[in-house]
Amino acid sequence: MRELTLLNTIHNAADVACLSERELQMLSDECRKYLIDTILEHGGHFAGNLGVVELTVALLKVFNPHTDSVTWDVGHQSYAWKVLTGRREEITTIRTYGGIAGFPKRGENPADHFGTGHSSTAISAAMGIAVAAKLQNNNKSTHIAIVGDGALTGGMSFEALNNAAASQANLLIIINDNQISIDAGTGAMNEHLATIKPGETNIFSQLNLDYHGPVDGHDLPKLLDELTRLKSLEHPRVLHIKTIKGKGYGPAETEQTKWHSTSRFVKIDAQKTTPARKWHEVAGDTMLKIASTYHHTAGITPAMPSGSGLIDCFKTYPNRFFDTGIAEQHAVTFAAGLAAGGLKPFLFIYSTFLQRGYDQVIHDIALQNLPVVICIDRAGLVGEDGPTHHGAFDVPMLRCIPGIKLLAPATAEELQTMMHAAVQADYPIAIRYPKGPVPELSINTRNETPLENMGICLRKGEKVAVLSTGIATAMAHEAFQLAQSQASHYHFPVINHISDEMAVKIGKTHTHIITVEDGAIAGGFGEAWSEKLYSLGFEGKVQHLGIPHQFITHGSNDILYNLGGYSPRKIAEELQKACSPVVD
């Protein structure tokens, strides 16, 4: 890495504020070069961060992050902010266990006023901070929401915009418009932003917000002038800037979706190997086959065509696959409407994003018994994205809802058969599967219907039984190889329907049962088994392994599984304890 003479002198925001305009431009160039070098080596969100370097520098020149607040939306574009507010050396640890978070995080640094891992929250949060300041007789400090155009597709952004002008608080909304979210921008708002001209009426001015722009977000002198002028105002206003996602790194400017984030050591020319097949790829390929066979099927995703493996579906059947933008509530009810209209919709959504459409799952799908298939991607721990993105809560969320059948495949074959079988179901189905590669595991399903499979005995033992579901079945399988245990092992593809017959069978032949799941223990798969077993008179011990009742930090999944107590090694340790004879 070349010598960064100016950047190395920046230890906090105050060091940026005292620089001249010429030095600020030099700092922008050095900061962008530093981000390119470090992220390509250590991994992390990439293209979006390169697009906001000049904006970040200008904000720190004009505003004071100790008295003014800045809320980033979505927070993965905050790397330059971290670098210039005292975390330059720590950026190499970003998203690793024990290192700094990949998103703004309250408590990590005084400059991080609000955590933003999910989209479309910044305007609401910044408005709340601004109103709190106003009520405490401090309307001089400015409270800034930096909102990507992708985040404007989310319902919360519209709700906040509708409410913002009436607050009369010192709120500055900066629209970072690069015409792309992760995939290409979609919807009428995206088109509207592209056609706004200075002085013309637009959606923001119609909502009684004081609109300024559009401005070139890479023209540092212009940004400085605009922000300085807007700082003198104390009412809600909007600054619309145009930026380039991936700015300064040719490949990222050309292929913005591909370079949204990078893995570690992407610059190293490693020997080419065939990558393991990933769960979302299996789901996407299966959906393509379903769509080609069943012409009444449709697919929906809230802004995740690439992440959900659906790109080929969108290309092949553009009239039957829909990207709603970052609008999870709309996506869920849209799917319900498709089902009510006679189609068979498959909704592809990440576990943590499904949390945002929970009411719609209950009210619009389950209550009306509409046959929507919800494919829950990134279920369980997701590694480096951390607590905002871990899919910990989908099982407790859905297990309590009447009428939904919740499934968790352990293999690619199970996922495929579940999706195909779901086409014929006349009730709601949710299928959860994790992030990452599909394990090499073979399960004989004995030609049972995947939607009615009440459990598969993978190995028959005595006294101790391990009950697992989804990816935890592969983890438990590996644990048995480590422990050389004589215990039984059962895999359950159906999570929330436990047959009395199977529960009695397991309860009669075992005295110690260990449940394993890649999800929250509280309200999860294991607790469902405790409820069933004890209701049928089981007198033995039931032990639960899974995500404990806390928010799990960021880091590799291998580290986090171990930290949570349900890695293969941890399962093996518990197996050995359970199977060891009791010594008086």
Which residues are marked as active site?
245, 328, 356
| Distances, alpha carbon 543 to alpha carbons 64, 482, 575, in Å | 52, 19, 11
Whats the size of the chain, residue-wise?
A: 584
Residues 411 and 442: their CA atoms lie apart, in Å, by 7
DSSP 277: P
> For residue 203, what is the enclosing H or E element?
helix 203-206
Closest by CA to 84, choosing from 102, 106, 58, 48, is 58
Rounded Cα–Cα distance for residues 276 and 186 (Å): 31
Amino acid at 274: T
Q: Which two tokens stand for residue 473?
A: 């079945």
Helix 220-231 vs helix 53-62: crossing angle, to nearest 10: 40
Evaluate whether 279 touches 308 at the Cβ level (below 8 Å). Answer: no
Half-sphere exposure of 53 (CA within 13 A, CB side): 25
User: What whole-number distance in Å separates Cα of residue 83 and Cα of residue 92?
Assistant: 10
The distance in angstroms from the start CA to the end CA of the chain is 64
Q: How far is CA 555 from CA 6, 95, 98, in A?
A: 31, 6, 8
Please give the Cα distance from 456 to 442 (Å, whole number). 12
**Distance (Å, rounded) from C-alpha 115 to C-alpha 71?**
8
Reduced to 3 states (helix: H, G, I; strand: E, B; else coil), residue 512 is strand
**Residue 290 and residue 297: Cα distance in Å, rounded?**
8
Residue 125 host element (H or E): helix 122-135
Phi, psi of 504 (to 5 degrees): -65, -45
Question: Using an 8 Å Cβ cutoff, are 245 and 48 in contact?
Answer: yes
**If you search the block for the tokens 């092949």, which residue do you land on?**
316
Q: Which two tokens stand for residue 288?
A: 């393509």
* Residue whose pair of structure tokens reads 């197996």 in the numeric block: 575
Residue 129, SS3 per DSSP: helix
Query: Could you give the dihedral angle defined by the CA atoms of residues 355, 361, 362 and 366, in that order, rounded to the nearest 10 degrees?
Result: -150
Rounded Cα–Cα distance for residues 368 and 371 (Å): 9
Query: b vs e for 74-110, b when ≥16 Cβ sit within 10 Å of the residue's Cβ?
Result: bbbbbbbbbbbbbbbeebeebbbbebbbbbbbeebbe
- Nearest alpha carbon to residue 204 among 237, 166, 232, 227: 237
Name, in order, each residue with C-beta under 8 angstroms of 99's C-beta and a sequence gap of 6 or more: 90, 92, 93, 554
